[in-house]
Structure 1
Amino acid sequence: MGTLLWINGPFGGGKTQTAYEIRRRLAGSVICDPEHIGFGLHRALPPRLRGDFQDLAAWRAGVREVLGLALEGHPGPVIVPMTLVDPGYFAEIVGQLREDGHTVHHSALLADRDTVLRRLRERGLGRGVRWDSFAVRRLDDCLERLARPEFARHLRTDGATVPQVAEAVAGAAGLTLTPNTDGRLRHRLRRTWTGLRHIRFD
């Protein structure tokens, strides 16, 4: 049975970059992204009925079932980059997976508001941050909720690089990553490519 690494944090907090850095440097690991389940449910609904897909019981049940199957069928670590700040939903998914006997290591990536906004601007490829965007509207609430004890373990990322954050997340789960051999340019190119691949249009 595999081990699950749930990487939590605000939108723009570095979850996806951290997840792919871990996968790159941890043999046998896979990424399972619960957003894909949410996007599928959105597409099945008329546009005017599409709210926050986390409020759908079908999403929470589907995520729990899919991650349970992944943990039972995949021998290596399962990495989940997903913002989850509602304590009830957290208990319903992460808590239930633990009750089912699965090993779940949770890390909440935290940073100052200005740091997250800067990262969102960088993710916007020079187009800046839309102040009415979902990520910006939710930022303060996400940071406040994730700082609570129920979302520990907390990891401050303001002055840390992606490889350093990845090593801290993996280390908390007792996992050792292969050495990082990227130079500054390759690291920058890798981050840009990962960001481009995960631009959301849904």
Structure 2
Amino acid sequence: MLLWINGPFGGGKTHTAYELCRRLPGSVVSDPEHFGTGLQRMLPRDKRRDFQDFPSWRQGVHEVLSHLLDQHTAGGPVIVPMTVVVPQYFEETVGRLRADGYDVRHFSLLAHRETVLRRLQGRGLRGLRSEQWAATRVDRCLEALSKPEFGEHLTTDHLTVSGAAEAVARSAGLRLRPDDSGPLARRLHRAQVTVKNIRPL
């Protein structure tokens, strides 16, 4: 099974993905943004654009995830945190994997605009160009992802990271390992995820 966690930038995709991975034995996180960042770094800074516009990104994501799904034998799902809001790009990634016969469960994590912006600011990374870029795209993401073709929708305004992960797992028919870590351990884990995924443009 592949769990694709979609949502606006700052919507909690990455933290939800790693919480799922932490509590689903045998699971693995595969982040297509790493591939996109590599494509961008091949270009001078003033020539960079949204890496999803490159057909090579969409093709590469399909190839890598297909390979991983074929080779992953640990028993848990492959978890993919990635914002995709263009219908064509969605079909060339999520849709194509489904057409190939893979069990792909797609979830859009949605929240009110104010909630998403507050979460972006709460990262403490306001000086980074990537956070500023993300803030300018909140409205576009929320509008696109609210459409039926981007379901299943999960409203997260009043959900914790654990709550969002539990809702995804429940819908996908997966049983999470009980969360027996304390509040400090959970905060440290989420701080590590945040730092690990800082990607200045």
Answering whether residue 45 of structure 2 is matched by residue 47 of structure 1, we say yes
Preserved CA contact (<8 Å) 1:121 1:128: no
**Residue correspondence of structure 1 range 77-96 to structure 2 within 5 A:** 77-96=77-96
Cα offsets for 1:130-160 (capped at 9, x unmatched): 8981111100010010000000000000111
Cα distance, 1:122–1:41 mapped onto 2, change above 3 Å: same
1:172 is displaced (CA, Å) by 1.5
Aligned to 2:178: 179
* Structure 1 segments of 4+ aligned residues over 4 angstroms from their partners: 127-132
The verdict on how the C-alpha distance between 1:17 and 1:71 changes in structure 2, with shifts beyond 3 A counting, is same
Aligned to 2:68: 70
Contact 1:9 1:110 in 2 (8 A): yes
Paired position in structure 1 for 2:5: 7
* TM-superposed deviation, 1:92: 1.0
Opposite residue 193 of structure 1, the aligned amino acid is Q
Identity of aligned residues (%): 59
Partner secondary structure for residue 10 of structure 2? coil
RMSD: 1.7
TM-score by length of 2: 0.94
1:157 match = 156
Q: Deviations over 1:14-35 (max 9, x none)?
A: 0010011011101110011000
Partner of 1:18: 16
2:107 maps to which residue?
107
Instruction: Assess if the C-alpha contact under 8 Å between 2:130 and 2:199 holds in 1.
Output: no
The aligned residue for residue 124 of structure 2 is: 124
Which segments of 5 or more consecutive residues in structure 1 lack a partner in the other structure? none
Are residues 131 and 47 of structure 1, via their aligned partners in 2, closer, same or farther at CA, if it must alter by over 3 Å? closer
Alignment of 1:128-139 (within 5 A): 133-139=132-138
TM-score (norm 1): 0.93
Secondary structure at 1:95's aligned position in 2?
Answer: helix
SS at match of 2:154: strand
In 2, Cα distance between equivalents of 1:66 and 1:47: 26
Deviation at 1:188, TM superposition (A): 2.1
Inter-CA distance 132–110: structure 2 relative to 1 (3 Å threshold): closer
In the alignment, is the contact (CA less than 8 A) between 2:11 and 2:116 conserved in 1?
yes
> How many equivalent residue pairs?
199
The one-letter code matched in structure 1 to 2:123 is R
Residue 55 of structure 1 deviates from its aligned partner by: 0.2
Aligned residue number for residue 98 of structure 1: 98
- Distance in 2 (alpha carbons) for counterparts of 1:172 and 1:96: 22
